[in-house]
Structure 1
């Protein structure tokens, strides 16, 4: 990573973390309800029978209500499990128990599948710090999702979940950073 781009990314991530941190409980609840509605519409639009997503943590846009809906609808849900080598394994999620993986992120308790488990999903939903209008996604700096998306030979639609003000004109990027096909925000679904 070039020093200049690295500094830009760190500064933007710090700003976004602070914005997320100071969001009111009411504002967060309203945003999460709207995101759930929009994620359900996205899964329906793509007629997803299998998808990959992630269990949101408190400061992230909420995915948990959507995942509960997907499980109740009989949609097969795969969630990431971090590995020490920087790759992601995937595990089936049933909406029940979870644990903390190598990075302290929530993950399902089912037996991990290989990184290749994503080959057959209909839709991929990823976290992001910010996404620009060309679809360039900026994550939180560990590169797990960039490695995963960059290694796929055939990729289904990939949508990042962000708050409205995190869809911006441009984000600092490097060659390894991966684009997404769209974003889901409280205001709606935006194809990029």
Structure 2
């Protein structure tokens, strides 16, 4: 169950994101791609689980395309009715379909909920992350469940705008932290 503090923070950040221009989203995507593709754990680790950004989220499409073109096997989530995430391989932009929720999901073979256990890295969405790695998501809990399934050597990084790295995020017992964040101006920051 979400706390009122989480709902309030989520409303404020979502409202702020609505003011972000397409140009700012694109610029953020280039910076995020450059910062993350400089990490050997993403470019040489074999498989990376990521997500295909929508709307005014910090852009991850450039990152996914670059990783894929460099030979990294990229898994993207498939949202399940129960809120869990299944995973399928990204095979270029033509391998995606738009869902009823407005998300773009891969159409290929599904690897199951535990596919992230074998990933070198998981790049996940967030609305905010604090200095301890506590991440604020959209409230469905799907990435908290995903972060519960990662392998012992899997790196986890959330993608946010610079203003969304905050002093504190309200946390509950089911919330799972990330190991780092990437922002357009600060690049990668590990906790």
The TM-score with structure 2 as length reference comes to: 0.92
Q: 1:159 aligns with which of 141, 157, 160?
A: 157
Q: 2:85 aligns with which of 71, 85, 88?
A: 88
In structure 1, the residue matched to 2:46 is: 49
In structure 2, the residue matched to 1:189 is: 188
Instruction: List per-residue Cα deviations over 1:120-169 (Å, max 9, x = no partner).
Output: 11111000010000111111100001011123453501000000000000
The 1:25–1:46 alpha-carbon spacing in structure 2 relative to 1, beyond 3 Å, is closer
| Misfit runs of 4+, over 6 Å | none
Q: Does 1:29 align with 2:26?
A: yes
RMSD between aligned residues = 1.8
Q: Does 1:7 align with 2:4?
A: yes
Assess if the C-alpha contact under 8 Å between 2:89 and 2:106 holds in 1. Answer: yes
Assess if the C-alpha contact under 8 Å between 1:149 and 1:155 holds in 2. Answer: no
The TM-score with structure 1 as length reference comes to: 0.91
Instruction: List per-residue Cα deviations over 1:50-109 (Å, max 9, x = no partner).
Output: 100000002110010111111111100011001112211100001232113464421111
2:159 and 2:52 map into 1 onto residues whose CA distance is 12
SS in 1 for 2:10: helix
Aligned residues: 189
Q: Does 1:79 align with 2:68?
A: no
In structure 2, the residue matched to 1:169 is: 167
In structure 1, the residue matched to 2:97 is: 99
Which consecutive residues of structure 1, in runs of 5 or more, have no partner in the other structure?
A: none
Which consecutive residues of structure 2, in runs of 5 or more, have no partner in the other structure?
A: none
The 1:65–1:46 alpha-carbon spacing in structure 2 relative to 1, beyond 3 Å, is closer
